[in-house]
Structure 1
Amino acid sequence: MKRNGWRKPDQQTFMAQVRECRDKGYLLSSKKIGSGAFSRVYLAFATQERMQHNPRLASDLRGKRHSMVAIKIVSTAEAPVEFAQKFLPREISSLNATYKHLNVVQLYETYHNSQRAYLVLELAGRGDLLEHINTVSDRRHCPGLEEKEAHRLFWQLVSAVAHCHSAGVVHRDLKCENILLDDQGFLKLTDFGFANQSALKNALLSTFCGSVAYTAPEILMSKKYNGERADMWSLGVILFAMVTGRLPFKERRPRRMLLLMRRGPAFPPGLSPECQDLIRALLQLRPCARPDLRQVAAHRWMLPAPPALLREVPGAAPAENPAEPREDSDPARPLLQLRRSPQRGTPKSASGPAPKPPPPGARPSRGASSASAGLGLRGMAKAGLWVGVARRPSSGRPPSVLRSALGHHLVS
């Protein structure tokens, strides 16, 4: 993905970045493996001297048996003040808060000067989930992943999100492009640029952010929202994309998107009733009707649970022991009954009447185009080694069932 926020660095700037990285113990290569609104990500190598002085880096790379990292270079001098003072610190804080989980990308260290900030990140060598779904779909001549593989990957994603929520971090930009795979096939949640960290469990947020295709309806309606519940909606969209090879709701305009959401997803033949039920439960219009993570972990489609991952979901209970309801939730009930919940009308909010939906074609004042475009899902050109950012588009690639997420990357 290319954005207009940062012009292409000249050779002099790049050489300055090489020197600054070398001074910190990293050998920056010229291989650009990703880019963002005001950042670029390069493949780099950690020196032995650096690893001796950074236990976090050394312990992780020792297990990987290589010295490769990804260095995200953010142009703080050219980025808007809000980005440099609000979103970048949030990203760093969230990555530090969620450190040391197998399914969350690791931040090894940061350093900065008056012009740039450097984030030294774990490298994921097999691209993102979007590209993986496309590749498997092409190989199978059938859109989507087999349910067995989707079950394995979705468990890892649930584990990662549970770890984040337990640390008080809501991601707010969960999508296939922000889920990476490493060389061993482990899932890595990344890109915490829109994450929010709060000690209050049920705090309501008001920032309008994310990608339209994955954004919860309450956010599209400009209502205050619970970040954890909004993440649950995004998990439903991701699971649908995994098993069908397409997005459940294909529309660029927020108002039209809300109409499609009220109708609910349409499933292809052959998808198991249990998987359909879990997706319907996650894609409930009313936030309080969506299951929480321990209810998801107890759903029959999620069983049998990988023992190691089950321990990562706080309070995960067996399917026959429904989770106790929270104060702001509906009474606990088997998720197979959630599909019959009414989905007509606008969900009520404790904060008052819902504001009017934004007019067709309306965009927030600040925003950038998403790593995705078009209807359905399609990954961008295969970039090899990269981390946490969208890849550059390339021409000549034949169309596939799964396109990158539609709509604009919204934030206000």
Structure 2
Amino acid sequence: MKSSGRLKLEQRTFMEQVHECLDNGYLLSSKKIGSGAFSKVYLAYATQERMKHNPKLSSDLRNKHHTMVAIKIVSMAKAPEEFSQKFLPRESSSLNATYKHVNVVQLYETYQNSQRSYLVLELAARGDLLEHINTVSDQRCCPGLEEEEARRLFWQWQLVSAVAHCHNVGIVHRDLKCENILLEDQGFLKLTDFGFANCTGLKNSLLSTFCRSVAYTAPEILMSKKYNGKQADLWSLSIILHAMVSGKLPFKEHQPHRMLHLMRRGPIFKPGLSPECRDLIRGLLQLHPHARLGLQQVAAHHWMLPAAQELFSVLGAVPEPQAGSQDNTESGTDSMYPCTRTPCIHVQQLQSLQQSKTPKESTSGLALRPLEACPRQGASSACQALRSTMAVSPLVCATRQPLSLCSTLTIRNMPGHYLAN
């Protein structure tokens, strides 16, 4: 039980925040949808007056058919100087740099005073990926998501697209994990929490800061080596994919030397997981950073492409399994896990093949369009980002329809780590 004095202080602080938000055009609700070490996130509503003066906000909310936002309130008094002077500005600048990608949470604006800093963010009402994996696992009575759903979230203009866009604009996330991936009402994925992100100006610049969850941390970081941020993000992507399809993390230890031992042993896959999915995970879970699959190789991997066997059959590029490749369902492998590398296909081959197919022939379960027909500015930006980042371009992008939410939506069971610090 909180003391009456502490309770009154919190109530007074909250009312101050309500007035400060109202002065800036937002109606702050008492619905707390997340919290971090130095921050709290509340559901809020943008006023019509505010939307008139913020084109970024009004454009996005008009498509969503509601006025709800998430406001992250950071206590400058509680936060250490390094956080307020270094990490908070990085979060804002990273979100501004990645603006208008459909799979990255949008930052609409910021404002602050001497006591608090406010970040007005896009609302993702369905919680985070970890919560989704656990819910689906309970419903299926089987750990993990169906591979088809994991493929949709991981590739078809979802997680890989978001990370590729970040890397394309020079941003490395450095804290990729299931808790930092949110889902909106229609199931689209939103990458969030850029508090540890960094801008990598030089192509081969190395970083030294340890700033991510141990379970998702690349081995070179655990060994206290300087690291390439993009290659470290690729390792974290493989951990997330393993969690999606298996319902658990591949390596879980608190001590770095024990984690490294598990990493050298290799991941253990659940029975029934397709060889193609295992091959992709192994290709990303390479101990040596330069041996990891790049994003263009991930995009071209046969597990990732819709109707993969038909596609590669038409192009005459069906890869044969390498001799000596092991399954590793029950036991580990050597430090470098064997993986079959899918041959890269030139973008013109993919586009010419796509032009001969109609949306009805897609097996992905989504209405699909050619790259040139991406429906919104955000989707178009996503297309352009991936085209400029990857030698192999995806065939299609999912058609996005606007959200249909009423302004009185009640958000239940939101995770406590929404935009956590």
Q: Distance in 1 between matches of 2:297 and 2:267?
A: 21
* Alpha-carbon contact 2:33-2:418 (below 8 Å) kept: no
Q: Distance in 2 between matches of 1:338 and 1:217?
A: 25
* Match 1:216 to one of 215, 218, 235: 218
Q: How does 1:213-362 map to 2 (within 5 A)?
A: 213-304=215-306, 343=335
Q: How does 1:6-405 map to 2 (within 5 A)?
A: 10-155=10-155, 156-304=158-306, 343=335, 383-384=413-414, 388-390=418-420
Q: Which amino acid aligns with 1:304?
A: P
Pairwise CA distance, 1:8: 10
Q: Distance in 2 between matches of 1:339 and 1:154?
A: 25
Q: Among all aligned residue pairs of Structure 1 and Structure 2, give the percentage whose two residues are the same amino acid.
A: 74
Write 1 or 2 for the structure with the bigger share of helix. 2
Q: Distance in 2 between matches of 1:320 and 1:228?
A: 32
Corresponding residue for residue 349 of structure 1: none
Q: Distance in 2 between matches of 1:27 and 1:148?
A: 40
Runs of at least 4 residues off by over 3 Å? 318-321, 333-342, 384-388
Q: Distance in 2 between matches of 1:291 and 1:234?
A: 12
Q: Which amino acid aligns with 2:235?
A: W
Q: Distance in 2 between matches of 1:145 and 1:283?
A: 20
Pairwise CA distance, 1:389: 2.6
* Alpha-carbon contact 1:181-1:188 (below 8 Å) kept: yes
**Deviation digits for residues 54-81 of structure 1 (CA, Å, limit 9, x no counterpart):** 0000000001100000000001122100
**Deviation digits for residues 210-253 of structure 1 (CA, Å, limit 9, x no counterpart):** 00100001111110000000000000000000000011012111
* Alpha-carbon contact 1:299-1:319 (below 8 Å) kept: no
Corresponding residue for residue 365 of structure 1: none
Residue aligned with 2:104, SS: coil
Say how many residue pairs are matched. 328
Q: Distance in 2 between matches of 1:9 and 1:174?
A: 35
Residue aligned with 2:303, SS: helix
Structure 2, unaligned runs of 5 or more = 1-6, 309-313, 327-332, 337-411
**Deviation digits for residues 271-321 of structure 1 (CA, Å, limit 9, x no counterpart):** 000000000111110000001111100001001289xxxxxxxxxxx9989
Q: Which amino acid aligns with 2:413?
A: A
Pairwise CA distance, 1:112: 0.5
Residue aligned with 2:138, SS: helix
* Alpha-carbon contact 2:77-2:115 (below 8 Å) kept: yes
**Deviation digits for residues 149-172 of structure 1 (CA, Å, limit 9, x no counterpart):** 000000110000000000100000
Corresponding residue for residue 407 of structure 2: none
Structure 1, unaligned runs of 5 or more = 1-6, 307-317, 322-332, 345-381, 391-408
Corresponding residue for residue 406 of structure 1: none
Report the CA distance shift for 1:129/1:74 in structure 2 as closer, same or farther (over 3 A): same
Residue aligned with 2:31, SS: strand
* Alpha-carbon contact 2:106-2:122 (below 8 Å) kept: yes
* Alpha-carbon contact 1:277-1:339 (below 8 Å) kept: no
Q: Distance in 1 between matches of 2:241 and 2:272?
A: 15
Q: Which amino acid aligns with 1:74?
A: V
RMSD, aligned α-carbons:
2.7
Report the CA distance shift for 1:282/1:192 in structure 2 as closer, same or farther (over 3 A): same
Report the CA distance shift for 1:253/1:319 in structure 2 as closer, same or farther (over 3 A): farther
* Alpha-carbon contact 1:126-1:385 (below 8 Å) kept: no
Q: Distance in 2 between matches of 1:23 and 1:252?
A: 45
* Alpha-carbon contact 1:30-1:42 (below 8 Å) kept: yes
* Alpha-carbon contact 2:266-2:334 (below 8 Å) kept: no
**Deviation digits for residues 26-80 of structure 1 (CA, Å, limit 9, x no counterpart):** 0001111100110000000000000000000000000110000000000112210
Q: Distance in 2 between matches of 1:36 and 1:320?
A: 51
Report the CA distance shift for 1:165/1:319 in structure 2 as closer, same or farther (over 3 A): farther
* Alpha-carbon contact 2:36-2:417 (below 8 Å) kept: no
TM-score (norm. length: structure 1): 0.75
Pairwise CA distance, 1:336: 6.7
Report the CA distance shift for 1:319/1:49 in structure 2 as closer, same or farther (over 3 A): farther
* Alpha-carbon contact 1:298-1:319 (below 8 Å) kept: no
Corresponding residue for residue 353 of structure 1: none
Larger deviation: 8-17 or 173-182? 8-17
Report the CA distance shift for 1:319/1:141 in structure 2 as closer, same or farther (over 3 A): farther
Larger Rg: 2
Q: Distance in 1 between matches of 2:8 and 2:210?
A: 29
Residue aligned with 1:225, SS: coil
* Alpha-carbon contact 1:233-1:283 (below 8 Å) kept: yes
Pairwise CA distance, 1:384: 3.3
Q: Distance in 1 between matches of 2:324 and 2:159?
A: 22
* Alpha-carbon contact 1:124-1:386 (below 8 Å) kept: no
Q: Distance in 1 between matches of 2:322 and 2:55?
A: 47
Pairwise CA distance, 1:84: 0.3
